[in-house]
Amino acid sequence: MSEGRFAGSVAIVTGAGSGIGRATAIGLAEGGGRIIVGDVNRARADETVALLPPGAGVAVVGDLTESVVADALVAAAEALGPPDILVNCAGYGGGRAAFGSFEPMLWNRIQEVNLGGPFHLIGRVIEGMAQRGRGAIVNVASVAGIVGEPGIFGYSAAKAGMVNLTRALALHYAARGVRVNCVCPGVTDTNFLVNVRAAPDAEEIFARYARLMPIGRIARAEEIAEAILFLASDAASFCVGVVLPVDGGWTAG
């Protein structure tokens, strides 16, 4: 990663306590950015901050679906300078379930974390970016938001919502200097796979993933983060409303 490409930038990264979010926060900080590390878990958030250059990270801990936490993320960023970059990486899968047994509370929670929370956080920063004529928002959706994925109905619906929210916002704000783009990871080796590994048919699920991805393996978090970092950087200055699969070829067929 080139040094200095995020020099002077202030970035908010949600879900930054582990996995793709952590790898993204590290990449932004290595490029000279100052990072608000958002996560629901205090120990993980503090661990990410400790991995960043001294003084480059501030942890804000809490559930993004709570307005007070979203406010705290933005306030922490504004204490360093107006937020230039927002990466919505926090997510919740909710596990697999037969459609008929999908509980309404689970459905609502999946929508709140994956779509509602990011929507409201974007709403807190995007007008300020537009007034300054500069900003980059990168939403982390999923291949499951592009193609159907059996058994994860709520997650697939929420991530599809994130894909088209990205497109709608991109069209609305492009002329005002705010770029909104989206990365759709394939299966990635993060804590997010805990529920999959615990499923009774985990072996079958992973075998199917291997068949779906022509590259023959699941992704590393750093590989997804590189795509996010590109879209957040000035190198992607002409990328508007991009929905970028980073999926080992899953959606190429």
CA–CA gap between residue 219 and residue 217 (Å, rounded):
7
Query: Do 166 and 153 contact (CB within 8 A), yes or no?
Result: no
Question: Rg of the Cα trace of the chain?
Answer: 17
* Number of CB atoms found within 10 A of residue 26's CB: 24
Q: Torsion angle of alpha carbons 54, 62, 26, 18, nearest 10°?
A: 130
Q: Which of 92, 155, 173, 209 is catalytic?
A: 155
**What are residue 59's DSSP bridge partners?**
37
Contacts of 172 (CB under 8 A, 6+ apart): none
C-alpha to C-alpha distance for 154 and 145, rounded to whole angstroms: 10
Token couple for 245: 């699969």
Whether 92 is a known active-site residue: answer no
Print burial letters for 29-47: b (CB count within 10 Å at least 16), e (below 16). Answer: bbbbbbbbbbbbeeebbbb
Q: In this structure, are residues 145 and 189 in contact, taking their beta carbons and an 8 Å threshold?
A: no
Question: For residue 75, which of 58, 88, 63 has the smallest C-alpha distance?
Answer: 58
Which active-site residues does the annotation give? Answer: 155
